[in-house]
Amino acid sequence: MAKASAANSGPGGKTGVRIVVCGEKGTGKSSLIVTAAADTFPANVPPVLPPTRLPEDFYPDRVPITIIDTPSSVEDRGKLGEELRRADAVVLTYACDRPETLDELSTFWLPELRRLEVKVPVIVVGCKLDLRDENQQVSLEQVMMPIMQQFREIETCIECSALKQIQVPEVFYYAQKAVLHPTGPLFDQESQALKPRCVRALKRIFILCDHDRDGALSDAELNDFQVKCFNSPLQPSEIVGVKRVVQEKLREGVNERGLTLAGFLFLHALFIEKGRLETTWTVLRKFGYNNDIKLADELIPYSAFKRAPDQSVELTNEAIDFLKGIFELFDADDDNSLRPIEVEDLFSTAPEWYMFFFINIIIVIKSFSLQHIFSKCKTPCSSHLLDLIVF
């Protein structure tokens, strides 16, 4: 049963997304939900709808959505709080023809979400776009920028009209996308930069894809990366276009050998800034990272080898030859020892705790020589070393 469930899960292992819609009374919550589900504007709607389900094939990620309508009355605030605490995302509505409902977002609704400790993406939706006074045309960016700067939990803002069926499906698409491909783990809104854990993960992926270890992804390596992550090759003209975009914005992002690490990181920052978070998440997940940008446990090898207290373990000749080859590959100055920076390079694609373990050894012994390795080959091996060979 567990395998079947995993097979039906969407990005990030989600099998469903629960979206709670809230806002001031009369802002169009129920009409928005009915129009999204039925693709038609309702003549009459009850004050509060029962849970509404959008099927898995409603959006490309193929994850079913349950939409929860909520009451706006003060006496129902307890029930509202319960629903909000169970939400994967919140759609917060205001009416485009009633400016006071927009003011309520920052004076009540957004502070209330914080008070309830609702730490999920928020999509702010201006409903009844068709009723807005044409003499008071102000851009959505102008209206929302001050609010978004104060409340960073707002993922995106959109205006719609259920009556005219303008941008109604997009509302719940953006809400679902914010859950399946979240911004928070990847990008720091304050500094407008990739977060350190995201940078470390992308650097590891870059190194794994840089097969010739020349510090750049050649056209062939870039194409291999594209096929692995997205199951389709890049055309030569597309590769040229990608490198041109990077080089125009970041000169050191491309050199004569190809796309550099700086360019690779820049591309992903650009994807995120353009709202294409699914691109970066697809890459991370393809290389085994979970929603916390940590390697999934099943991808980290664990040696199940067990020995009795009176038994010892020796490396085989094949294992010794393998380790010698790896050692020589990373001994950049050919001095028969690995300096800390070379050891760091060696373990740059290892899980974090592997790197911590070995870097601390090097701090103690100052360098890592062939003699240090193979003088111990006839003594019992550390399980960490056995795991490393498997890794």
349 in Cβ contact with 204 (< 8 Å): yes
- Domain presence at residue 312: no
Please identify, among 233, 261, 294, the residue that sits at the C-terminal boundary of a domain: 294
Find the domain containing 161 and state its range: 2-180
Q: Which of these, 62, 63, 99, 81, lies nearest to 20 by C-alpha position?
A: 81
pLDDT for position 238: 95
Residues 114 and 263 in one domain: no
CA 250, CA 252: separation in Å to the nearest integer? 6
Q: Which of these, 82, 83, 107, 85, lies nearest to 24 by C-alpha position?
A: 107
- Domain presence at residue 186: no
Residue 286 confidence (pLDDT) above 70: yes
* 3-class state of residue 88 by DSSP: coil
- Domain presence at residue 173: yes
CATH of the domain at 209: 1.10.238.10
331 in Cβ contact with 342 (< 8 Å): yes
Residues 338 and 267 in one domain: no
Contacts of 368 (CB under 8 A, 6+ apart): 337, 338, 342, 343, 361, 362
Both tokens assigned to 258: 């190809």
Residues 42 and 113 in one domain: yes
pLDDT interval class at 245 (50, 70, 90): very high
Q: Which whole-number Å values give the CA distances from 137 to 76, 95, 130, in the listed order?
A: 35, 14, 12
Residues 341 and 261 in one domain: no
- Domain presence at residue 309: no
Residues 211 and 147 in one domain: no
pLDDT for position 51: 97
Residues 18 and 103 in one domain: yes
Neighbours of 20 (CB within 10 A): 24
CA 168, CA 222: separation in Å to the nearest integer? 38
In tens, the pLDDT along 33-55 reads 999 999 999 988 888 999 999 99
Residues 9 and 132 in one domain: yes
CA 174, CA 19: separation in Å to the nearest integer? 11
Sign of CA dihedral 162, 168, 169, 174: negative
CATH of the domain at 69: 3.40.50.300
Contacts of 280 (CB under 8 A, 6+ apart): 186, 198, 202, 268, 271, 272
pLDDT for position 354: 60
Beta-sheet strands, E only, within the chain: 17-23, 52-54, 65-69, 89-95, 122-127, 154-159, 187-188, 193-194, 216-217, 254-255, 258-260, 337-338, 368-369
Residue 3 confidence (pLDDT) above 70: no
- Domain presence at residue 305: no
CA 259, CA 242: separation in Å to the nearest integer? 9
HSE-CB for 23 with a 13 A CA cutoff? 27
* 3-class state of residue 258 by DSSP: strand
CA 13, CA 288: separation in Å to the nearest integer? 12
Rounded to 10 degrees, the C-alpha dihedral 247/248/252/256 comes to 30
- Domain presence at residue 287: yes
- Domain presence at residue 62: yes
> How much is the average pLDDT of 241-248?
95
In tens, the pLDDT along 73-86 reads 878 889 999 999 99
Residues 70 and 40 in one domain: yes
CA 360, CA 36: separation in Å to the nearest integer? 56
Please identify, among 294, 325, 350, the residue that sits at the C-terminal boundary of a domain: 294
CA 30, CA 170: separation in Å to the nearest integer? 16
State how many domains the chain has: 3
Q: pTM of the entire structure?
A: 0.78
In tens, the pLDDT along 154-177 reads 999 999 999 999 999 999 999 999
> How much is the average pLDDT of 94-111?
95
14 in Cβ contact with 63 (< 8 Å): yes
CA 87, CA 385: separation in Å to the nearest integer? 44
Percent of the chain's residues with pLDDT above 70: 85
pLDDT for position 368: 56
Q: Please, which residues bridge with residue 217 across strands?
A: 259
Residues 67 and 142 in one domain: yes
CA 158, CA 151: separation in Å to the nearest integer? 16
CA 351, CA 297: separation in Å to the nearest integer? 10
- Domain presence at residue 226: yes
